[in-house]
Structure 1
Amino acid sequence: MTTVPSLGDDAKREAMRAALLAQGWNQADIDAAFLPPPPVSVYRMRQGVADALKEMRRDLPRSVKTWEPYLQVYLDGFPGMCPCPCVACATGPCPCPGGTAGHHGTCAMPDDDRHTDCAERYTGIADLPAAEATFSEVAEAAWWAERHGLKRTVARNVKREAKGRNPLHSDGRGAREQLIQASRWMFAWLERKKKIDGNPALEVKLPPRQEATARSLTPEEFGEVYGVAVSTGQDPTLDGLILRHLLIQGVRRGALLDSTCEGLDVANCRIRYWDQKKTWRWRPTTRTHLADLITHAIVRGPRVAAPPDASEAERRHGIAALTATSPVFYGRPVDTFDEHGYFVSRTVRPITRKRIELIFARIRRNLPWTENVELRCHDIRHTSGRLIYKAADQQMAKLHLAHDGGSTTDHYLKERLDELAKLKEQLFEPRRDDEQS
């Protein structure tokens, strides 16, 4: 039997099939001759998100925790969430039948919303070809992410009101911004990999940010905050060290958590930080504070059992086993001893973001005025910068906070780091008796 070559044009294929049938060919022979074209592999959003996240873990590991949940919205959607931000819908199952039945009496759906039917759901676009994603798909996902953030705030405020606490003011725009930023990165990467043509997320505008609520504290206010922190918790040593570090160094929360033993420079009395712009920065500290950090890391950091010929003290307490990558800040460790009371092993507990958040949550519970101003970790950074500004000048404060930029002039001003070190000694180093006399 003669095999008819397959044609790409469907119209021509059908015309040839009809002609062969008219000539008396058997239908089975025609079907065998006209083999179906191989299926075209379609690169869908499901695969695009998976590949982008894999690349992100390698290229931007610090962004994965923030951006992965938002990219996952394209795949999972919010199938169990109605679009209404009212208290009834935010704190429990949606009471509305939706559709033509309308809204329940307790539902208060805004009339001018993008979606006004409680029956509507966002189920994602996992099976959409990545090349067909447009402005509309990104904008739709961003709207639902923003609404999810708003409903979360509404639900939390109900609980806060019941406890007599001030309401939160977040309206979900932060979630919207993060989804757009994550989408811009993902589609830009897909475009570089020739999976799509153009970046649809670039056309979606970022929402305007809310006014920053961070404020600096007076020395008296910080003293009150510090006193509450070290007197109401179960680990005053750690709480006090964290607050002192935030004040003396003026770092962000992430820089504190990323501090390692390798970054403690004893010879030059300085500490190395990983900056937001992917650069290492050295900043001076005080002698006492650096000693406190080293002591804390040695006492609470990793330890190993001492050999049998070691001293009695080493066998009782173990031997410090800090490495260059060991964190600086730890909670109380869990030690194991044998029947003779000799050290066997230790489970260390490096602090996390949650540990710092708990400190400030406890301060707000025990100090009413801090609840009114919504005290947070970043306020201590503001306080630190203002102390340096009042004691020196704006340029010194910018250098202290790593806001000094990258211009040539600012590069030469880096020589003022030694002046910053002396200023910190004057502000934060305890006076010794021989210096006071």
Structure 2
Amino acid sequence: MPKPHRLASTRSALADDRLAELTQAASTSGDDPELDSLILRFHIETACRRGGLLALRPKDLDVEQCLVLLREKGETFRWQPVSPTLMAFLQQHVQERGSPADGVLLRYRSGKPVGRRRYDYLFSRVGELLPWVRVQMISAHWLRHTTLTWVERVYGYAVALAYAGHAETPNDAGTTARYVKATLEEIATALSGLSGEAHPLALQGKVPVLNLPEGSLVGEYF
């Protein structure tokens, strides 16, 4: 029997002011705002899926090149650039919360590893402070939409496709898109423009001057 047609997703990119509200609420409320801020910043910078962050281990950090190894659905894995600031936050988290090298990186203050329930708590709590978060059922996947939309608008479809970690080109993208693949350096360049920070792998002279707060999408929020 043919599969039923999948309904179009209601998720979309968040506007800058909505993103600011979300990150502000998360970082100033709850029982562990430092943890929640780290979760949000990681998703905004990497556009990873929830499982990518939950599977991250301290030994997956390439500190020198500011890269993290993301292991996501379908047993896929890839190196994803992060800003020097986020890398420093990740290292600090590991040191303060005792994350073992080959164990889950994200930890509560008690040392217990963070799981999916933290996401439920985070967005449920923020939804109590911001009604639009509750009504629209905002989740971490909305941050993925937000970042990838921004990357596509500024750096093009090929870079956005690679930034997303899509193993295959969507069938409706056209034949040419299968042959036009972005490099890791181009992804790092997009991350540099996104964060407003220099990245060791970014292409020199390829980061545009953006009309965004502090020259970045995340700069003013963390």
Q: Under a length normalisation based on structure 2, what TM-score does the superposition of the two structures give?
A: 0.79
Q: Which residue of 1 aligns with 2:113?
A: 350
Q: 1:178-327 residue pairs with structure 2 within 5 A?
A: 205-302=2-99, 322-323=100-101, 325-327=102-104
Query: What's the counterpart of residue 375 of structure 1?
Result: 138
**Cα 1:262/1:218, change in 2 over 3 Å:** same
Aligned to 1:428: 195
For residues 425 and 288 of structure 1, the distance between their equivalents in structure 2, rounded to whole angstroms, comes to 11
Partner SS state of residue 103, structure 2: coil
Q: Which has the larger radius of gyration?
A: 1
**Contact 2:84–2:197 (CA under 8 A) maintained in structure 1:** no
- State how far apart, in whole Å, the 2-side matches of 1:429 and 1:330 are: 28
Q: Deviations over 1:53-89 (max 9, x none)?
A: xxxxxxxxxxxxxxxxxxxxxxxxxxxxxxxxxxxxx
Which amino acid in structure 2 is aligned with residue 263 of structure 1? Answer: D
- Residue 260 of structure 1 and its aligned partner are, at CA, apart by 0.9
Q: Which runs of 5+ in 2 are unaligned?
A: 170-174, 199-213, 215-222
1:328 partner amino acid? L
Match in the other structure for 2:162: 399
Q: What whole-Å deviation, never above 9, does each CA across 1:258-300 have from its counterpart, x for those lacking one?
A: 1111211112211111132323211111111111111111111
Alignment of 1:365 with 2:133, yes or no, is no
Equivalent position amino acid for 2:181 in 1: L
Structure 2 residue matching 1:232: 3-state secondary structure: coil
How many residue pairs were aligned? 194
**2:106 matched residue in structure 1:** 329
- Which residue of the partner structure matches residue 413 of structure 1? 181
User: Matched residues in 2 for 1:363 and 1:239: separation?
Assistant: 11
SS in 2 for 1:277: helix
Contact 1:404 1:410 in 2 (8 A): no
Indicate if the aligned counterparts of 1:357 and 1:377 stay in contact, CA closer than 8 A. no
What letter matches 1:284 in structure 2? Answer: P
Write out aligned runs for 1:101-112 (5 A).
Answer: none
Query: Residues 13 and 149 of structure 2 are in contact (CA less than 8 Å); yes or no, is this contact kept in structure 1?
Result: yes
After superposition, the C-alpha distances for 1:295-330 in whole angstroms (9 at most, x for unaligned) are: 11111124xxxxxxxxxxxxxxxxxxx32x122211
Name the % identity: 28
The change in CA–CA distance for 1:384 and 1:409 in structure 2 (over 3 A counts) is: closer
Residues 233-267 of structure 1: per-residue CA shift (max 9 Å, x gap):
11110010000001000001111111111211112
Cα distance change on mapping 1:429 and 1:329 into 2, 3 Å: farther
Distance 1:252 1:409, change over 3 A: same
Q: Counterpart of 1:417 in structure 2: which amino acid?
A: L
Q: Deviations over 1:172-206 (max 9, x none)?
A: xxxxxxxxxxxxxxxxxxxxxxxxxxxxxxx5x54
**Distance in structure 1 (CA, Å) of the matches to 2:37 and 2:141:** 16
Higher relative contact order (CA 8 A, sep 6+): 2
Match of 1:147 in 2: none
Structure 1 position 402, deviation (Å): 1.1
Aligned residue type for 1:244: R
The answer to whether structure 1 residue 386 and structure 2 residue 149 are counterparts is yes
Say which SS state the counterpart of residue 274 (structure 1) adopts. strand
* Native 8 Å contact 1:395 1:404 kept in 2: no
Root mean square deviation, CA, Å: 2.3
